[in-house]
Amino acid sequence: MRLRVKFSKHGALRFIGHLDVMRYFQKAIRRANIDIAYSEGFSPHQIMTFAAPLGVGLESNGEYMDIEVNSITGSGQIMDALNGQMVDGIEVLEVKLLPDNAGNAMASVFAASYSIRFREGFRPVFLSVRSLDDFYGQQEIEVTKKTKRSEVTFDMKPYIYELGLGDDGEVVRLTVDASSAGNLKPALVMRAYYEMNGSELDEYALLITREETYLNAGNAEQPRLMPLGFIGSDF
Amino acid sequence: MRKLALSDDILLQVEKPARYIGNEVNSVMKDKESIAVRFAMCFPDVYEIGMSHLGIQIIYDMLNRFDDVWCERVYSPWPDLDAVLRERRIPLFALESQEPIKDFDFLGITIQYEMCYTNILQVLDLSGIPLIAKERTWGHPIVIGGGPCAYNPEPIADFFDLFYIGEGETQYRPLIDLYRQCREGNVSREEFIVRAARLPGIYAPQLYEVSYNEDGTIKAFTPKRDDIPATVTKEIVTDLTNTYYPEKPVVPFIKCTQDRVVLEIQRGCIRGCRFCQAGQLYRPVRERSVDMLKDYAIKMLDNTGYEEITLSSLSSSDYSKLEELVGFLIDSCREKKVNISLPSLRIDAFSLDVMEKVQDVKKSSLTFAPEAGSQRLRNVINKGLTEEVILNGAAMAFQGGWNRVKLYFMLGLPTETDNDIRGIAELSNKISAVYYETVPKEKRNGKVQIVASTSFFVPKPFTPFQWAAQCTKEEFLDKAYKTRKAIMEQLNQKSIKYNWHEADASVMEGIFARGDRRLCKPIMEAYKKGCIFDAWGEYYRHDVWIETFEECGIDIAFYTTRERGIDEVFPWDFIDCGVSKEFLRREWQKALNEQVTENCREKCSACGAARFGCGICCVERDYS
């Protein structure tokens, strides 16, 4: 049986990297006495898959991992057991049972939404509904991405699903491709936005929270974004 | 949520920000308004090293059980953060509360190796605490040192208000009570230190004075007042079963050197190897009961979620209930999917059987520590390991499927000759020959691999070799080249790999190990010139140290290569570690006569530790 666990990551925990979060959960699951399944072989390890790694410094309200278990009690009980073992800054938000045919958390990731706030003194003067519309309304949004070997210029427009300003006029809402094929970092989008406005982005300016991670419940032509936990059920 | 001491921009620019944020599983948060004493416990090295240290976990747990005390942790900021803290004038802080160390009541520093001395100054300096103890006021914490290097605290005497000599479990409660009483009674800091110096095991260096002979040796070491003791006796826990031990050790987020549950099974060692300081300092051998250990193993695994457990002691094979304990761990760990990582055990039928059960045979290698290449020299150092035992153990292991062997030796031991050095090569060769003799061709799993490593011998206080001359750097390197040459001449030389250590750091370690208070000055000067993290090859600046010793008029040879007179007063003689100087003198003489001494289980050699009235000293021996 596979469970999909949703959790948030805030505060000091922003500075714990992805691999260390995995190690953290492996220990927490042992402490919580979850009946997790182990791989075969001489050095068995917990069967566990994380959806999408979160960069150091980012907060999140929508992280996911799948764990394979041998037996289950109830969603609420497992969630409480895990939350009884969490440190300040990580909270388990939901635990769902996955159908047998569900793809794993990592392979299912299609998109992610972000809230982008600005640190004190870093709010760009050009930030407005209109300037964001102008930016997103372009036919093509060219950006140069540096990889280890080379620089590639590509059009990121098809990878942005939503871009706008929150009601308070302070928070940028962004939904982008987060699949393994087209994963787009929110800072890269913001860099292009700054450049269009004749400004250069200092990445430190941004306070980024991943709000949700999505799977595609539609098809390739007509995607329908639903939270990763959508295909699971309470038990 | 806690406010971090470092801003996001700093945490995002330094390597491994998780070193500085605290908040780990089982770390202890208290309401600072409801406690009386704030204690910062420091391991003066980087987080991953410091968090792997068992002693701090024990003291941290104990102090936090006291309702009136909150113990927090602090480690050396890595050089990247060090630079930022200096530039922005951010005071060093404790991990739990993220508040400045300067505002604490105590700063306790464990001193595990000599090469961390400049890091002690780094911690004090970044905290805004005067480096020199006598310049401190009640506005600064009481700086107290402990750990093995506190058994010769003199090279760092100026920097500490107090040293705690011995095991921490016993005197912290009385010391904290005394502190509270003095603070509440408006007693001066100086008077508190005097009163603390009367507690067992507590040494206040500023209350003692040293005079020197013309040749630079110590003439007298005496208390400045007659109401404090002339001798400080080490503190020990007489019953290791009914005492403090953490059920919930702190679990770091990032991978540390020791990333597992550590079960300390006993303290002390029965063996009495003459080069080994720990073997003398921690006498007598005291075991924890096997029932306590079983109970703690389960509790600690349950409370941490670790996937591995290991045993800690100086010589685990000598623990009397080892079979019972390991059997229990194998059974309960299999159930919990926990790995057992065994410390190096003496190679015999039992340990090979256990290793086969708990480890992947193909991956593991056997470890022998003959320490010296010839039987003659092994007798000098009282290492009770014979060639026959090594070769039999190797043969048994090779038949069991092992084909990798690690060998540890020391170069520069007293009385060592070229023959002893050649013995290292010959022993390595004989072991590889055993492989080809015992394992038939069709059963061989590739070639046998022998890795022989040598370290350079540094004489330590409270050992029979405390009188011995240390080699010069040139002599050390010459010995390493001879070892390499001798290995190259062996028949099976292609199966033997040889590693040796750097000689510079061994010279430095030798200066500090048997140093006196006159070294405080060069340590301070080297720190001011930027020396920190001397234990890390990439930061160790040998040339700066040598230059600083010259500037301070320190003759390195006086501390290292000089053989001490048998009646010389040593800087550490005021400490009574249980083992008498008379016993050590006898052992030094026996070493020179190539005579071995029985281990504590075979026979009592009257070292002096029996007066603690515990452990092996109180066990009936079977002389039949």
Using the beta-carbon criterion (under 8 Å), do B251 and A28 form an inter-chain contact? no
Residue whose pair of structure tokens reads 């010839």 in the numeric block: B374
Q: Is residue B590 in some structural domain?
A: yes
- Binned at pLDDT 50, 70 and 90, residue A58 comes out as very high
pLDDT at A152 over 90: no
Residues of chain B neighbouring A43 (CB-CB closer than 8 A): 339, 360
Work out the pLDDT band at B71, boundaries 50, 70, 90: very high
Burial of residue A146, with CB atoms counted within 10 A of its CB: 0-12 exposed, 13-18 middle, 19 or more buried: exposed
Separation of CA A101 from chain center: 23
What count of other Cβ atoms lies within 10 Å of the Cβ of residue B188?
A: 11
Residue B275: closest CA among B513, B460, B471: B460
Residue of B2, B11, B305 lying closest to A28 (CB–CB): B305
Q: Do B253 and A24 touch (CB under 8 A)?
A: yes
CA distance B562 to B528: 29
- Please tell me the distance in Å from A90's CA to the nearest CA on chain B: 11
User: Which residue is closest to B28 within chain A, CA to CA?
Assistant: A87
ipTM (interface predicted TM):
0.92
Q: How many whole angstroms separate alpha carbon B528 and alpha carbon B153?
A: 21
3-state DSSP helix/strand/coil % of chain B, to nearest 5: 40, 15, 45
* Residue A56, min C-alpha distance to chain B (Å): 8
Q: Do B24 and A29 touch (CB under 8 A)?
A: no
Is A23's CB within 8 Å of B22's CB? no
Q: What percent of chain B lies above the pLDDT cut of 70? A: 99
Q: Which residue of B has its CA nearest to A119?
A: B8
Query: Under 8 Å CB-to-CB from B391, ≥6 apart: which residues?
Result: B430, B431, B434
Q: Is residue B280 part of a domain?
A: yes
Q: Which amino acid is at A95?
A: V
Nearest residue, CB atoms, A11 vs list B1, B12, B254? B1
Contact across the interface for A44 and B337, Cβ inside 8 Å:
yes
- Based on the fold, state whether residues B48 and B136 are members of the same structural domain: yes
Contact (CB<8Å) A57/B8: yes
- Closest among B110, B382, B373 to B269, alpha carbons compared: B382
Residue B306 sits in the same domain as residue B162: no
Residues B197 and B133 in one domain: yes
Quick check: B335 pLDDT over 80?
yes
3-class SS string, A117-155: EECCCCCCCCCCHHHHHHHHCCCCCEEEEECCCCEEEEE
The 10s digit of each residue's pLDDT in B535-567 is 999 999 999 999 999 999 999 999 999 999 999
Classify residue B240: in a domain, yes or no.
Answer: no
Determine, for residues A27 and B24 on separate chains, whether the beta-carbon distance falls below 8 Å: no
Least confident of A10-19, A108-117, A148-157, B115-124: A148-157
B331: buried, middle or exposed (CB in 10 Å: 19+, 13-18, 0-12)?
Answer: exposed
Q: What average pLDDT does range B405-428 have in this prediction?
A: 97
Domain that holds residue B375: 261-517+582-610
Same structural domain for residues B17 and B107?
A: yes
- Tell me which fold the domain A2-106 belongs to: Alpha-Beta Plaits (3.30.70)
Up-side HSE of residue B411: CA atoms within 13 Å toward CB? 31
**CA quadruple B10, B16, B20, B25: dihedral positive or negative?**
positive
Question: What pLDDT digit, counting tens, does each position of B244-272 carry?
Answer: 999 999 999 999 988 999 999 999 999 99
Based on the fold, state whether residues B171 and B307 are members of the same structural domain.
no
Spatial separation of the C-alpha atoms in residues B182 and B37, rounded to whole Å = 12
Q: Considering only CB atoms, which residues of chain A are within 8 Å of chain B? A: 10-13, 15-17, 20, 23-24, 26-31, 38, 42-44, 56-57, 85, 87-89, 119, 204
- Please tell me the distance in Å from A30's CA to the nearest CA on chain B: 5
Closest A-chain CA to B256: A20
Q: How many domains in chain B?
A: 2
Structure tokens at A104: 């794993």
Q: How many CA atoms lie within 13 Å of B507's alpha carbon, on the beta-carbon side?
A: 22
CATH number at residue B179: 3.40.50.280
Per-residue pLDDT tens over the stretch B110-142: 999 999 999 999 999 999 999 999 999 999 999
Residue B100: asked if its preceding bond is cis (omega within 30°), the reply is no
What are the E-state strand segments in B111-217?
142-146, 162-164, 202-203, 208-212
Question: Best mutation site among A14, A20, A30 for testing chain B: the one with the most B CBs within 10 Å?
Answer: A30
Show which of residues 349-368 on chain B sit within 8 Å of chain A, judged by CB atoms.
360
A204: closest CA of chain B, how far (Å): 7
If pLDDT is split at 50, 70 and 90, which confidence band does A180 have?
Answer: confident
Q: Are strands B449-456 and B404-411 parallel, antiparallel or unpaired?
A: parallel
Q: How far is A119 from chain B (nearest CA, A)?
A: 10
Instruction: Please tell me the distance in Å from B585's CA to the nearest CA on chain A.
Output: 51
Which residues of chain A make contact with B337, given a CB cutoff of 8 A?
Answer: 38, 44
Which member of A13, A20, A204 has the closest CB to residue B254? Answer: A20
Sorted by where each begins, the domain ranges of chain A are 2-106, 108-228
Do B444 and B307 share a structural domain? Answer: yes
Whether residue B244 is contained in a domain is answered as no
Give the model confidence (pLDDT) of B557-608 as tens digits.
999 999 999 999 999 999 999 999 999 999 999 999 999 999 999 999 999 9
CB nearest B253 (choices: A16, A88, A204): A16
B189 plus B318 within the same structural domain: no
Strand partners, B449: B404
Of A10, A15, A27, the CB nearest to B17: A15
What kind and span of H or E run contains B60?
helix B54-65
Question: Parallel, antiparallel, or unpaired for β A111-118 and A206-216?
Answer: antiparallel
Q: Is B11 on the interface with A (CB under 8 A)?
A: yes
pLDDT greater than 60 at residue B362: no
pLDDT for residue B142: 98
Q: Which residue in chain B has the smallest CA separation from A45?
A: B337
B307: nearest CB among A16, A26, A56: A26
Residue with tokens 């007693």: B187
Residues B40 and B147 in one domain: yes
Other beta carbons within 10 Å of B483: 23
State the pLDDT at residue B361.
Answer: 53
CB pair distance less than 8 Å for B360 and A28:
no
Model's pTM, two decimal places?
0.95
**Nearest 5°: CA angle at A188, between A186 and A192?**
120
* Cβ–Cβ under 8 Å, residues B62 and B39: no
User: Is the distance from CB of B141 to CB of B87 less than 8 angstroms?
Assistant: no
The yes-or-no verdict on residue B449 having pLDDT over 70 is yes
Distances (CA, A) of B353 to B350, B396, B450: 5, 11, 21
* Inter-residue contact A235 to A73 (CB < 8 Å): no
Closest Cα to residue B108, out of B79, B135, B139, B71?
Answer: B71
What's the rounded mean pLDDT across residues B329-343? Answer: 88
The verdict on a CB contact (< 8 Å) between A12 and B23 is yes
In angstroms, the separation between the Cα of residue B12 and the nearest Cα of chain A is 7
Please indicate, yes or no, whether residues B181 and B315 belong to a single structural domain of this protein: no
- Chain A and chain B share a number of CB contacts under 8 A equal to 71
**Tokens 């979060």, residue?**
A21
Q: Is B253 on the interface with A (CB under 8 A)?
A: yes
Q: How close does chain A come to B328, measured CA to CA in Å? A: 19
> Is B226 in CB contact (< 8 Å) with chain A?
no
Nearest to B196 by CA among B177, B175, B211: B175
B305·A42 Cβ contact <8 A: no
Q: What is the residue-wise DSSP string for B429-444?
A: HHHHHHHHHHS-GGG-
- Taking Cα atoms as reference points, which of A72, A64, A75 lies closest to residue A4? A64
Domain of residue B440, CATH code = 3.80.30.20
Query: What span, in angstroms and rounded, lies between the C-alpha atoms of B145 and B163?
Result: 5
| Same-domain pairing of B219 and B267 | no
C-beta separation of A214 from A65 below 8 A: no
> Each residue of B540-567: b (16+ CB within 10 Å) or e?
bbbeebbebbeebebebebbbbbebeee
**Rg of the Cα trace of chain B?**
25
The answer, yes or no, to whether residue B360 has pLDDT greater than 70, is: no
Q: How far is CA A21 from CA A9, A17, A81, in A?
A: 10, 6, 18
Q: What is the spatial distance between Cα B470 and Cα B450, in angstroms, rounded to a whole number?
A: 28
CB contact under 8 A, A12 and B1: yes
Interhelix angle B387-399/B349-358, rounded to 10 degrees, is 40
Q: Are B11 and A15 in contact (CB < 8 Å)?
A: yes
Q: What CA–CA distance (Å, rounded) separates B584 from A218?
A: 82
- Both B229 and B266 in one domain: the answer is no
Q: Which helix (H) or strand (E) holds B504?
A: helix B504-513
Residue B304: its chain A contacts at CB < 8 A?
A: 27, 31
- d(CA B311, CA B326) in angstroms, rounded, equals 9
Domain co-membership, B370 together with B494? yes
Question: Is residue B332 predicted with pLDDT exceeding 70?
Answer: yes
Q: Which of B108, B72, B114 is nearest to B93 (CA)?
A: B72
Show the CA angle centred on residue B555, arms to residues B551 and B560, nearest 5°. Answer: 135
Query: In chain A, which residue's Cα lies nearest the Cα of B337?
Result: A44
